[in-house]
Chains A and B, each alone.
Chain A
């Protein structure tokens, strides 16, 4: 009888254990915190990875006069590299230096393995409306993390989507960086119109650092295409971006200096 009683008790314990285990599995799954592993030690030089959009067989947008996005993004990236090296003494790495195809993962890997402080992707726009023009700075859309995980995915499935959540930790910094660059371009009135936008950009989602995309103009607008062929105009854009980045870097340093070290 007491044997039965003991068995009954152990059954109960086992049963409770099973239920507990089921809930514990959910509770102890690694969450967002797992993604917040920090990089760099701060003593390394300020490293910027510039990503000239498209390349190789992927031409990107093409203007009516034949200017290709892959061509113009590389040209601007090279100019930007010079400005950043000179003005900021930054170590600058380009994700491609020639007319070669690179996948989004390869581009992100260049930035991640070099532990860059900042990632800037250079693109151009083109619209259905050929009158549309302007320059635009993008940061990653925070809504992406909510909307890309529809309700029918279980919590466990949502948490498993790790690899494309690495930008999550840098959403605010990326927004600030985009703000600095936008402000600089706006102050110097580069291009007729300036915008700052957020979007679920594939290239930014797997980058583990503050990251932005600058779309330097609309190739579908002939007037803008002509401007983009002009070296003086491109230099202005590159300088505008570099000033914005310099301001962002200074703001970051001021913040670091303001916090007392223990």
Chain B
């Protein structure tokens, strides 16, 4: 038979072990929890570091994805863009305006040149919302493969050049749309699509 005090001591010890186990479990669980969300946080920290490193620069080389001459792939065409500010939204918007302007002799356009950009915004998850005027739909030739080239020239140009942008959502006249010309699904955020690109 144990002494009551020794018994109490033993119980205290067990209680302490229990608290310790609970604490350890809590640490492990919260580690996993914060580790997962932490990676996203880490990614969204990079833009500010990157843009501060680029401060003072107003000319940037970008790769614009136009259609190849045979109309089968996207090809990267290097252009210099002059942005009024170093803000990524401003630079990405400039790149999109260049994309709308067309490739000249080096390829085939992927967007109607009458298209305007009504708005551009990047949220804290790196999802870029680009709002086009109705011309992107009304003046599009409306072909299936042509639509695929249009959609991925937009997504690839934005994601390939601006690491801050992880995905792209296309809007027309301020509204989220399911498609541009009736075929390709743009109802969800688009990510870059490399298999349509031909790098030489």
List chain A positions with a Cβ less than 8 A from chain B.
1, 4-5, 8-9, 11-12, 15-16, 19, 53-54, 58, 60-62, 69, 123-129, 132, 136, 138, 143-144, 147-152, 164, 195, 197, 199-203, 205, 213, 215, 218-220
Contacts and interface: CB of A to CB of B under 8 A. Distances in A.
A127 B108 contact: yes
Given A128-B108, A152-B166, A147 B15 contact: no
Nearest to A136: B145
Q: Which of B109, B141, B167 has the most CB of A within 10 A?
A: B141
Given A129-B69, A138-B144, A220-B143, 20 more contacts: A8-B18, A11-B22, A12-B21, A19-B25, A53-B182, A60-B182, A61-B142, A61-B143, A127-B71, A127-B145, A132-B108, A147-B191, A147-B192, A151-B166, A199-B144, A199-B184, A200-B148, A202-B182, A202-B185, A213-B144
Give chain B's interface residue range (CB within 8 Å of chain A).
35 or more
Contact of A125 (B127, B143, B192, B195): B143
A202 B179 contact: yes
B72 interface: yes
Contacts of A62: 142
Contact of A197 (B22, B145, B182, B192): B145
B118 interface: no
A203 B93 CA distance: 31
Contacts of A195: 72
Contact of A123 (B18, B25, B148, B183): B183
A163 to B, nearest CB: 12
B11 A124 contact: no
A238 B22 CA distance: 70
